[in-house]
Chains A and B, each alone.
Chain A
Amino acid sequence: MTVALDRLRGGAPAKRHNARTIAALTANPGCTRRAVLDAAGVDKPRLAQHIGFPGNFGQSRFALARGNGFEAMLKADNCALLLSVLRDVLGLDTPEVSYDDLGEDADDTLGARHGRTRDLLAAAAGAALIDHPLLTLDVAGRQVFLEPDLIAFQVAGRLHVVEIKSFAVVDGQADSAKVSAAAVQAAVYVLALRRLLADLGHDPALVSHDAVLVCPQNFSLQPTAVLVDVRKQLSTLTRQLTRLASVTDVAEALPAGVSFDLSLPPADLIASLRHIEARYAPECLSACELAVHCRHEAAGTTAALGRPVRDALGGVDTVAEALALAAGARPPTEEQAEAAALLQAAARLRAEVLAS
């Protein structure tokens, strides 16, 4: 079923999906190009570099170091510090909380770790923390391994996904963009966990839709935990994943010559990209590695100026068309009639005011 997708990559190994890339799928659901490339596991950063449109997606090593340091501090001594904040927010009142570390991240032991995660979840009772669990999720007909920061059991038997982030919560407030990104990621884990429980014959609703977000408080490294309701993100995600199932059909319908094998010359890769429709929006610039190329391709469209601009221009596709309608130089189609009248009035007003 995924042969068509695998072929797109050439000989290169598939790039692993993670919660972040899955979360990004929900950012611009209308983009077929992104869906196909991600489903096929194409190395998009290298592809963008190779065709001469490198993105700017570097991460500061200071930020990485702080994130890792914060997580290590929380998990030291069998998660002593983490447990203390979780006790408050989840109401864990039993003195004994079991802690299982399923081991470090390594590609060759993925299957084994997932197996142990299943065993633990099938057997577990009582309060427990599971560190380095490994979950799976079907994305576009392909099994993807996911690694939440932690799963916590509450005494009442409810499972909570714990997400550790290193951005600060100051006086109960944090950067809204970062919180919503964390919420979408947590939703990915909740969904994967629910599907696993359903698999094991348990009630998927045992997994709480309240994910726990653990962040440094104010300007210190002192942790604080808050519950984040991810129901909205879950429903968006479920919908997008259902849509993605059709990606294989798109891939199968592509001409035989389409390939993203990075050993091909850039011109061929760009030609291949043209076969898959993209839906560029300026928001892509902060979410997708291919965005700079897509922006170049979309130059002259109203969508490249942002969705509000496109809407205000009456949904007309290109800048040239919008200006022609505004100048009355082009007869509008039936559905453009209203937009054209508005554009002409706007052009008249601008000309009148700027001339005086």
Chain B
Amino acid sequence: MSTLTALARAQAFAEGRAQPIATVRHLHLHDRPFVLIPYAMAGEANAPLAALAGTDRKDPQLLVVAQPRNRDDRFAFAADLAGLLVPYVDSFTAVAEAVPVDRGRDVRYRYVDAPQVWVPTTGGVDFLRLFGRSTRFRSTDGEYAVPAGVPLLGRWLTFFANSAEVPGSSLLLNAVQALSSHWATGQSSAEDAQLAALMAWLSPPPGRTVFEAAAAAEDPSVTPPAGPATDPGFDNHVLAPLLSVAEPDVAQLTEVLRAQLTPTWRLMWEALDLLRTLPPGARVPSRWDGDRDAFSAFAQHVAEGGPPQPRRDGAVAAAARLSRLEAAAARYAVQRAFDDPLVMAEHRLTGAAFAADVTLAKADRIDDSGKRPVLRPRIMVVTSEPVRVEPGAALFSPARPGQKATVISVTSEEPGKSTVLLELSGGMGRKLVAEPGSVPEVGERILLTTLSEAYRPGGALPEPDQTPWTHGGPPSAE
């Protein structure tokens, strides 16, 4: 936890309301999100109990498993869920756009939009991952046949759950994480993990303090949990009597489960409303492009009858995936800071970034020591913030992302004030005269940081059939 976020929590507690820790929204918010609230049967291995789902705020679809211990009923539930989710996903495969690749020598196609699924908590994401695992390998014929949509649902759930691990991806989002990365409450993150308690801080009901609202949100008899785990009291006193008979009364079961799930449904849409009040960050659309690429590739894989995702990745696939996740995490961290001055402030606090005033600028400086003369303007900046960079370090500025500023010298004539001399390269056009506005002018306040958006290539990995013996050797066909 950064000191800045911790301070926001302290302020939230003292003022009795949540405090912003972001000035822009760092995720893509879909116009037509698919909200899904799963409930699991206690004790069973990820057996579904019910789900409230859909894209229409006013008309959620409730799916109920008549007898959660019955295998057929569970797969009937999976088929019902497939009947909602798969058409939603398919609705994005109608229109594709051409994207030039390989420096314009080729094109590939990606869909102009992609689906977005919302669940309340990280527990919901885990539930979907395991539910995907339990359904994607099922066969639709033979002795233990399941309904047709079930394995397809499993593949899509697995796809969504895998993409939820990619930092910055907006294909499967959970409300608790989305909200708590934009606002800080005056309670601990353990308490924030309950959607109702978190929402109590963000928008307490009128006439109530956040402390009263949070207390009410923690009482499961007043506010049912957001799932997938049910309230034990509800299990023991409501569900158990209903399920104790061989043929449970489905109408009654539906009614009690709807009452448990509806409050969370309302909170989910209020959470989306809250997030919509923030303007999207400048780099959010480019990340959504990446999501659309991932979606298009997988939709094609499914359309071509490709196999379901493996139970476990092979050594090479796992290493490649890890490397992709690390690259995505690094990119997301930098992009968030470049998009959002409040996130950048955390780096300013640690000395990885500083705001400075330009005191001198020589925009037409030419370096002709090499074979060809090159444009290398120099600027001098003064800052009162801590500067922890050495000469030779490369700095970047969110306002001019394509430009590199190399530190020539750092001097400190009076305590608490530093003067930094910088040499600029890149982002000024191709001529020996800088494009107007591409070199900071005297008097301008700029932000400089060691964070870089530059592309960093990942390490080379062997082909799967060249897996070294240290990693188990080439995978054998299962």
| Residues in A lying within 8 Å of B, measured CB to CB | 56, 58-67, 166-168, 170-172, 216, 218-220, 282-283, 285-286, 300, 302, 304-306, 308-314, 319-320, 322-323, 326, 342-343, 345-347, 349-350, 352-354, 356
A203 to B6 Cα, complex, angstroms: 51
Interchain pairs with CB closer than 8 A, number = 134
Please provide the 5 A-B residue pairs with the shortest distance between their CB atoms, ordered closest to farther.
A168-B45, A58-B232, A63-B43, A312-B6, A66-B43
Q: Do A306 and B190 touch across chains, with their CB atoms under 8 A apart?
A: yes
Is B42 in contact with A218, judged by CB distance below 8 angstroms?
no
A300-B2 Cα distance, complex, nearest whole Å: 20
In the bound assembly, the distance between CA atoms of A218 and B45 in angstroms comes to: 8
Q: How many residues of B contact A (CB 8 A)?
A: 48
Chain B residues within 8 Å of A353, by CB: 23, 341-342, 345
Measured between C-beta atoms, what is the minimum distance from A52 to chain B in Å? Answer: 12
A345: min CB distance to chain B, Å: 6
- B389 CB-CB contact with A under 8 Å: no
Partner of A62 from the list B11, B43, B311 (CB cut-off 8 Å) is: B43
Expressed in whole angstroms, the minimum distance between the Cβ of A13 and any Cβ of chain B is: 26
Do A56 and B220 contact each other (CB < 8 Å), given the known contacts A171-B311, A305-B187? yes
B interface residues, Cβ below 8 angstroms from A: 1-11, 13-14, 20, 23, 41-47, 130, 133-134, 186-191, 218, 220, 230-233, 235-236, 239-240, 311-312, 341-342, 345, 348-349
* Interface of B: prevailing SS: helix
Contacting pair A171 B43 (CB below 8 A) = no
Known contacts A60-B43, A166-B43, A219-B45: A309-B133 contact under CB 8 Å: no
Bound Cα distance from A302 to B342, whole angstroms: 22
Beyond A66-B43, A305-B10, 19 additional pairs, beta carbon < 8 A: A62-B43, A62-B44, A62-B235, A168-B46, A170-B133, A172-B312, A218-B134, A219-B46, A219-B47, A305-B9, A308-B1, A309-B1, A309-B6, A309-B188, A313-B10, A314-B3, A345-B349, A350-B8, A350-B342
B7 near A62: Cβ-Cβ < 8 Å: no
Output the nearest chain B residue to A59 by Cβ-Cβ distance: B232
B4, B186, B341, most chain A CB atoms within 10 A: B4
Residues of A with C-beta under 8 A to B133: 170-171
B240 partner residues in chain A, CB cutoff 8 A: 61-62
CB of B77 to closest CB in A, whole Å: 14
Residues B10 and A62 in contact, CB atoms below 8 Å apart: no
Assess whether A312 is in contact with B5, with CB atoms less than 8 Å apart: yes
Given A60, A216, A354, A356, which contacts B42 in the complex, CB threshold below 8 Å? A60
Beta-carbon contact of A343 and B7 below 8 Å: yes
Interface contact B14-A311, CB-CB below 8 Å? no
Measured in the bound complex, the distance between the Cα atoms of B342 and A67 in whole Å is 49
Chain B residues whose CB sits within 8 angstroms of the CB of A320 once the complex forms: 14
A346→B235 contact, CB < 8 A: no
Residues of chain B within 8 A (CB-CB) of A345 are 349
**Can you give 21 A-B contacts (C-beta < 8 A)?**
A60-B43, A60-B230, A61-B235, A62-B240, A63-B232, A64-B43, A171-B133, A219-B45, A219-B47, A219-B134, A305-B10, A308-B1, A312-B2, A312-B7, A313-B10, A322-B7, A342-B349, A346-B4, A353-B341, A354-B20, A354-B23
A320-B191 Cα distance, complex, nearest whole Å = 21
- Residues on the A chain within 8 Å of B46, using CB: 168, 170, 219
